[in-house]
Amino acid sequence: MRNAFAAEVTEMAQRDKQVVLLSGDIGNRLFDQYKEVAPDRFINCGVAEANMISVAAGLSFCGLRPIAYTIAPFITSRCFEQIKVDVCYHRAPVIIVGTGAGLSYASLGSTHHSFEDIAIMRVLPEMTVMCPADRREVRLALRQALAHDGPVYIRIGKKGEPDVHACDPELAIGRGIVLRKGKDVCFLSTGNMLAVAVECAEQLQAHGVSAGVISCPTVKPLDEHLLSQLFAELPLVCTLEEHSIIGGFGAAVAEWSKRHSDSGAGLLSFGIADEFMHETGDQEHARRQFGLTAPQVVARVLSTLSTQSGERS
Amino acid sequence: MKIEIAPTAATAAYQIRRVASDDYPKLCREIRGCVLEMSGRAKTAHLGSSLSCVEILAALYGGMLTIDPSHPTAATRDRMIFSKGHAISALYATLALFDFFPASSLSEFGKHGGKLPEQPSPWCQPGVEVATGSLGHGLSIGVGMALAAKINRQHYRVYVVMSDGECNEGSVWEAAMMAPAHRLGNLVAIVDFNKWQATGRSEEILALSSLKDKFTAFGWNSFDVNGHSVEALLTVLRGSIDSDKPTAIIAHTIKGKGISFMEDDNNWHYRIPNDEELRAGRKELGLL
């Protein structure tokens, strides 16, 4: 996803002379091409994220379109007040890109994990929150963010994530992307869990369960039309994300369903438990720890469907 | 009292009025009078902080800034970020006296449903660039605006008025390191160094001194100036800007300046004047 971000932002800077890329002293060599295309519109702000966000706001107040980029926890929780006041309160069209989100940097330890960024970004008025799933979604999300007249947080992974989409999907802010339809359960996935969602649906098919998969690159605003349909038609909806089960995508869907749906559809939220990860391990290891691999998800879904069917009969 | 503000040849084309040097004492008394009335009427704090920065604002609006009150968002305007947002009554008063909005609007300060909140908001009245109620944001935003001028090849200057207590914030020093790295000669920071912050002497709470040496060490073109002398402020602002370095002006001031029983008494950070104190203040300012 990182390379897709660098490629897209380079093309955007070439097309749009208002685009300015700010980096928090990361991305060594990643932006070499960008720097060739727009040398005076690349600003390394150093290891000073609070300043970087306010500088981005100042640039935007003068008609430029800043894109601030660094590792997810450092560009969200470290400089939260600058995002709240300088960006959101002023409705500044600043694009904030957090890389290595969720468990992407699992092996680096808790300082580099971001299980809380969706929660603290989506609570801010005016903020749009996007979590693209693969390289194609990263590029499309960036284009949507640049066309949007307001603050956008884009949460991306690292590199090497599987490509889920074979061609560019139709991606718009506040709209889900239906990959497959199901009759028994539907997986709503945000960010890099989409490949797991697809795997889950395939495994469930072998158990005779018809599972749909929808990619939700926008966490805020939610695709309310789609949610209304799903909760009205299906007995079970599952959310998948590399984020805390508190305050993230699953929580947003749960809040929505409690307020807007009385269908009785079940909701399972797959995410990271309310705890720090103290042991060492890579992303796959961390996903196993938090029950986020396809076999673990499938087992929980089957068990829930079986309980639901027992209750009905 | 109406301030006579004479246009000069240099500014007439931009509809920007300049204050004649003899009129500054009168202008400053008028700003202080408005500040006192606003605090008394709305029963709001931060009177001492507002009174200490009056000459700084008078010098900027009367002698430096190219901001047309009729076109306060023109792309080529100078930017003035009032980063010590708690002292906003001084800026509101100045903006009203320079016709950014009617002086009658000052009565809305702190009122329910009014347009002048106790901490600045860009949505309130023309002339307020950004919301700065939380300290330590203004200088960084100023760096962004100064960088934008370079990118957009524009020639405006960015002025940031800060408090000494504000310099406790780490983000100030992040911005202070960034500005010289980008040779932002179009950026001017003015610290209203009144030697007090909310609950004590600023030097005793965190070791601020010497602010000038600190900014110089960070690569700024720095000056110590009498912050209650409009002439001294304008001399530095007009004659000592380095086009290759940001400029820091440490304006030495007295908290509560202009009303003797408030001067250098930090109780007036939060205290609200009663009727008797309002009368005494008006009298000292020559408004009675």
Domains assigned to chain A = 2-155 (3.40.50.970), 177-312 (3.40.50.920)
> Using 50, 70 and 90 to split pLDDT, how confident is the model at A155?
very high
Q: Where are the beta strands (DSSP E) in chain B?
A: 5-7, 17-19, 79-82, 158-163, 187-193, 196-197, 200-201, 221-226, 247-252
Q: By C-alpha distance, which of B220, B275, B271 is closest to B245?
A: B220
Q: What are the distances in angstroms from CA B155 to CA A145, B145, B147, B235, B243?
A: 30, 11, 11, 21, 11
Q: Which of A157-161, A224-228, B48-52, B73-77 has the lowest mean pLDDT?
A: A157-161
Mean pLDDT of chain A: 96
CB A213 within 8 A of CB A206: no
Q: By C-alpha distance, which of A64, A53, A9 is closest to A31?
A: A9
pLDDT value, residue A201: 98
pTM: 0.95
pLDDT value, residue A309: 81
pLDDT value, residue B106: 94
Locate the domains of chain B by residue range: 21-284
B76 touches chain A (CB under 8 A): no
Q: Give the helix/strand (H/E) hosting B42.
A: helix B24-42
Q: Which of A2-6, A105-109, B62-66 has the lowest mean pLDDT?
A: A105-109
pLDDT value, residue B9: 41
> Using 50, 70 and 90 to split pLDDT, how confident is the model at A311?
confident
Rg of chain B (C-alpha set): 18
Kindly state the average pLDDT of the residues A217-230.
Answer: 97
* One-letter amino acid for residue A13 of the chain: A
DSSP one-letter string for A188-211: EE-GGGHHHHHHHHHHHHHTT--E
Distance from CA of A82 to the nearest CA of B (A): 7
Contacts of A61 in chain B (CB under 8 A): 129-130, 141, 144-145, 148
Q: Give the helix/strand (H/E) hosting B92.
A: helix B88-97
Contact A86 B171 (CB under 8 A): no
Kindly state the average pLDDT of the residues A78-87.
Answer: 98
Residue indicated by tokens 């196993």: A288
Name the token pair of A95.
Answer: 């694009």
Q: Is A165 exposed, middle or buried (0-12, 13-18, 19+ CB in 10 A)?
A: middle
Contact B177 A57 (CB under 8 A): no
Contact A54 B149 (CB under 8 A): no
Residue A228 has pLDDT above 80, yes or no: yes
> Using 50, 70 and 90 to split pLDDT, how confident is the model at B3?
very low
- Which chain B residue is nearest to residue A57, measuring alpha carbons? B141
How far apart are alpha carbons A192 and A226 in whole angstroms? 20
What is the CA B48 to chain-centroid distance, rounded?
Answer: 13
How far apart are alpha carbons A263 and A256 in whole angstroms? 12
Name the token pair of A32.
Answer: 């070499």
Structure letter (DSSP) for residue B87: G
Determine phi and psi for B284, rounding to 5 degrees.
-65, -35
Name the token pair of B206.
Answer: 């965190």
Between strands B247-252 and B221-226, the pairing is: parallel
How far apart are alpha carbons B259 and B36 in whole angstroms? 10
CB A139 within 8 A of CB A169: no
Between strands A266-272 and A236-244, the pairing is: parallel
Residue B12 has pLDDT above 50, yes or no: no
B142 touches chain A (CB under 8 A): yes
Rg of chain A (C-alpha set): 19
Kindly state the average pLDDT of the residues A29-33.
Answer: 95
Task: Quick: pLDDT tens for B45-103.
Answer: 899 999 999 999 999 999 999 999 999 999 999 999 999 999 999 999 999 999 999 99
B21-284 adopts what CATH topology? Rossmann fold (3.40.50)
Other CB atoms within 10 Å distance of the CB of residue A280: 11
Residue of A16, A51, A82, A86 best to disrupt the B interface, most CBs of B under 10 A? A51
Task: Report helix, strand or coil for B78.
Answer: coil
pLDDT value, residue A313: 67
Q: Choose among B151, B177, B178: nearest Cβ to A20.
A: B151
How far apart are alpha carbons A93 and A74 in whole angstroms? 20
Residue A47 has pLDDT above 80, yes or no: yes
How far apart are alpha carbons A179 and A211 in whole angstroms? 11
Mean pLDDT of chain B: 92
Residue A135 has pLDDT above 80, yes or no: yes
Which residues have a Cβ under 8 Å from the Cβ of A95 and sit 6 or more positions away? Answer: A65, A66, A67, A68, A142, A145, A146, A151, A152, A154
Q: Is A259 exposed, middle or buried (0-12, 13-18, 19+ CB in 10 A)?
A: exposed
Residue B259 has pLDDT above 70, yes or no: yes
How far apart are alpha carbons B207 and A114 in whole angstroms? 35
Other CB atoms within 10 Å distance of the CB of residue A281: 14
Sheet of strand A266-272, all strands in order from the earlier edge strand to the far edge? A177-180, A211-215, A185-189, A236-244, A266-272
- Bridge partners (DSSP) listed for residue A65: A19
CB A86 within 8 A of CB B130: yes
More confident residue, A84 or B239: A84
DSSP one-letter string for A103-163: TTTGGG-GGG-BSSHHHHHHTSTT-EEE---SHHHHHHHHHHHHHSSS-EEEE---S-PPP
Distance from CA of B147 to the nearest CA of A (A): 7
Task: Quick: pLDDT tens for B166-195.
Answer: 999 999 999 999 999 999 999 999 999 999
Kindly state the average pLDDT of the residues A153-175.
Answer: 96
How far apart are alpha carbons A161 and A287 in whole angstroms? 14
Other CB atoms within 10 Å distance of the CB of residue A167: 5
Residue B216 has pLDDT above 80, yes or no: yes
Contact A58 B147 (CB under 8 A): yes
Between strands A218-220 and A128-130, the pairing is: antiparallel
How far apart are alpha carbons A188 and A178 in whole angstroms? 9
B153 touches chain A (CB under 8 A): no
A41 touches chain B (CB under 8 A): yes
How far apart are alpha carbons B173 and B85 in whole angstroms? 18
